[in-house]
Amino acid sequence: MATTVRSVRKAKGHGAERRQEILDAALMLFAQRGILAVSTRDIAAATGISQPALYAYFRTREEITAVLCEQAFLELRNRMLAAADHQAPTRASFIRMCRVYIDFGLQQPDAYRVAFMLEKGGPQPQETKARIIAAGVESFDCFHGQVARFVAAGLTRPGESVLLSQSLWAGLHGLVSLLIARPDFPWADREVLIARHIAALSDGVLL
Amino acid sequence: MATTVRSVRKAKGHGAERRQEILDAALMLFAQRGILAVSTRDIAAATGISQPALYAYFRTREEITAVLCEQAFLELRNRMLAAADHQAPTRASFIRMCRVYIDFGLQQPDAYRVAFMLEKGGPQPQETKARIIAAGVESFDCFHGQVARFVAAGLTRPGESVLLSQSLWAGLHGLVSLLIARPDFPWADREVLIARHIAALSDGVLL
DNA sequence: GCGATAAGTGATCACCGATCAATTGTGAGC
DNA sequence: GCTCACAATTGATCGGTGATCACTTATCGC
Domain borders along chain B are: 1-58, 61-205
Q: Read off the pLDDT band of B1 (50, 70, 90).
A: very low
More confident residue, B2 or B137: B137
Q: At CB < 8 A and 24+ separation, what contacts does B83-89 make?
A: B84/B146, B88/B153, B89/B149, B89/B150, B89/B153, B89/B155
Among B residues 89-118, those touching chain A with beta carbons less than 8 Å apart = 113, 116-118
Mean pLDDT to the nearest integer, A18-28: 91
CATH of A61-205, one of 1.10.10.1100, 1.10.10.10, 1.10.357.10, 1.25.40.420: 1.10.357.10
> Which of chain C's bases lie under 7 Å from a protein CB?
6-11, 15-21, 25-27
Cβ–Cβ gap A200/B157 under 8 Å: yes
The nucleotide lying nearest A61 (C-alpha to C1') is C17
**Least-confidence region, from A164-168, B7-11, B142-146:** B7-11
Q: Read off the pLDDT band of A195 (50, 70, 90).
A: very high
pLDDT at B13: 61
pLDDT at B113: 85
Distance CA A168, CA B83 (A): 27
Nearest CB to A205 within list B160, B163, B200: B200
| Nearest chain B CA: its distance from A167 CA (Å) | 5
pLDDT at A3: 41
Mean pLDDT to the nearest integer, A23-49: 91
pLDDT at B121: 57
Cβ–Cβ gap A177/B173 under 8 Å: yes
Q: Read off the pLDDT band of B198 (50, 70, 90).
A: very high
Q: Read off the pLDDT band of B3 (50, 70, 90).
A: very low
Nearest CB to B178 within list A36, A173, A181: A173
User: Could you tell me which chain A residue has the CA closest to the CA of B110?
Assistant: A119
More confident residue, B2 or B74: B74
Cβ–Cβ gap B160/A188 under 8 Å: yes
Spatial neighbors of A93 by CB under 8 A, at least 6 apart, are A85, A87
A119–chain B Cβ distance below 8 A for any pair: yes
* pLDDT exceeds 60 at position B17: yes
Spatial neighbors of A155 by CB under 8 A, at least 6 apart, are A89, A90, A91, A94, A206, A207
The CATH superfamily holding the domain A1-58 is Homeodomain-like (1.10.10.60)
B62 Cβ contacts chain D strand, under 7 Å: yes
CB pairs under 8 A between A and B: 149
pLDDT at A118: 73
Nearest CB to B133 within list A162, A184, A202: A184
Measuring CA to CA, which residue among A203, A199, A87 is closest to residue A153?
Answer: A87
Burial state string for A5-33 with b = 16 or more CB within 10 A and e = fewer than 16: eeeeeeeeeeeeebbebbbebbbebbeee
Q: Read off the pLDDT band of A16 (50, 70, 90).
A: confident
* pLDDT exceeds 80 at position B101: yes
Q: Which residues of B touch A173 (CB under 8 A)?
A: 174, 177-178
pLDDT at B49: 92
CA of A44 to C1' of C24 (A): 19
pLDDT at A199: 96
pLDDT at A1: 42
